Chain A
Amino acid sequence: MKKTYYLFNAGRMSRKDNTLKFTPVDENGIEGQPKYIPVEGVSDFYCFGALDANSALYNFLGKEQIAVHFFDYYEHYTGSFMPKDYLLAGKMQIAQMKHYSNKTKRLTIARTFVEGATFNIIKNLRYYQSRGKDLAGLIEIIEGYCIQIQYATEIEMLMGIEGNIRQVYYTAFDTILNDFAMNGRSKQPPKNEVNALVSFGNMMCYSLCLGQIHHTQLNPTISFLHEPGYRRYSLALDLAEIFKPILVDRVIFKVLNKKEIQAKDFDVQVNSVVLKDTARKVFVRTFEERLSETIKHRSLNRNVSYKHLVKLECYKLTKHLLEMETYKPFKAWW
């Protein structure tokens, strides 16, 4: 319902008359026509261009529960401005802690994350299999790994299986994509066009999950599959794992195979490939369309958007932690 705004142009955001005013600024520093953004209809901002703002604005955004996610020139996620936690719940934190520190409990949750992710990966491959791409061999390999998930006794083993699955999955990219090749995953920096898109897409998915976790009582720093404690909000990484195949990868296949993003939309440098502004805009727009797409939810018996699915996932996890209902990962059922 509330909208996500994407800021590509450089400009100044300010608080004006209790709402938001965005004044774009061009390369010569000349201010353009200001635009007013209805503050009641904003869920968060994704900031790709240079944003000018002062603390008065952030105080206001904090009060209105609006998050701002920042990305640097190379579209790496650099951080977020998060409003003060407003759904504090000690009980939830303690439950989360308990599930983390108990090895079997932690493993149960971690396993479901990997299961969910793998299921959605296979779903993707099956879809393209039905569209005439030869992926049967790869699906079989992944299914083989899938059986191992339930026997994993250590988190590291689980991560290993997950890594193997992803490696096989990424080789499938070469078959699915018509004009591009991936040649394995490379990051920091991505070495080719597909890798650049995957990195960018994963960051978008990650900040989406973080934003949704923030609207629940979960603590985003305590995670189960990824090791918590260092670097970033790792629970968002856990959740993103499940949603990456259906939200990010499908969008990548779409924009590349439909030639919405082409080779000329990338800035190829010696050791890295960066998306140009045009490519970024196309990707973000398609991603946003994907998020607002709705599907009929089977147990809720109503239509929900993909974005809302992420939040529902948080709720399911909450219920599991409070031992009300066993957590079942989201699996694309259509």
Chain B
Amino acid sequence: MYVILVYDIGEKRVGKMLKLCRQYLNWIQNSVFEGDITEVKLKELQQRAKSIMKVEEDSIIVFKSRDLKWLEKEIVGKEKNELTNFL
């Protein structure tokens, strides 16, 4: 499964959320992550995210797609982080 995850988190907790998301997905922009992930791993991520969030204030939105090929990605301006497995 290919997902895009965006979050809007209170300033105090945002650092923790960034670090958590980095473990599972690729950072592409401030508060935006994307990447290939299994359903179980995504659940795990959401579970751990909930323990960081204040559910009344913060929010996370996950856009799911079956595969990267069903997703058209267009970048206007500078690409902040190019995704590649050739470093």
Contacts and interface: CB of A to CB of B under 8 A. Distances in A.
Interface residues of B, number: 16
B37 interface: yes
Instruction: Pick from A1, A4, A40 the residue with the most CB of B within 10 Å.
Output: A40
Contacts of B85: 3-6, 288
A285 interface: yes
A38 B27 CA distance: 9
Contact of B81 (A8, A17, A24, A35): A35
Nearest to A42: B85
Give the interface size class of chain A: 20 to 34
A11 interface: yes
Contacts of B35: 38, 41
Contacts of A8: 86-87
B38 A1 contact: yes
A41 B36 contact: yes
A35 B86 CA distance: 12
The DSSP consensus for interface residues of chain B is mixed
B46 interface: no
B41 to A, nearest CB: 6
Given A8-B86, A24-B87, A284-B86, A3 B23 contact: no
Interface in B1-50: 19, 22-27, 35-38, 41
A9 interface: yes
Nearest to B86: A6
29 contacts: A1-B36, A5-B85, A5-B87, A6-B86, A6-B87, A8-B86, A8-B87, A17-B22, A17-B23, A18-B19, A18-B23, A22-B87, A24-B87, A35-B87, A36-B27, A37-B26, A38-B22, A38-B23, A38-B24, A38-B26, A39-B23, A40-B24, A40-B37, A40-B41, A41-B24, A41-B35, A41-B36, A41-B37, A288-B85
Interface of B: 19, 22-27, 35-38, 41, 81, 85-87
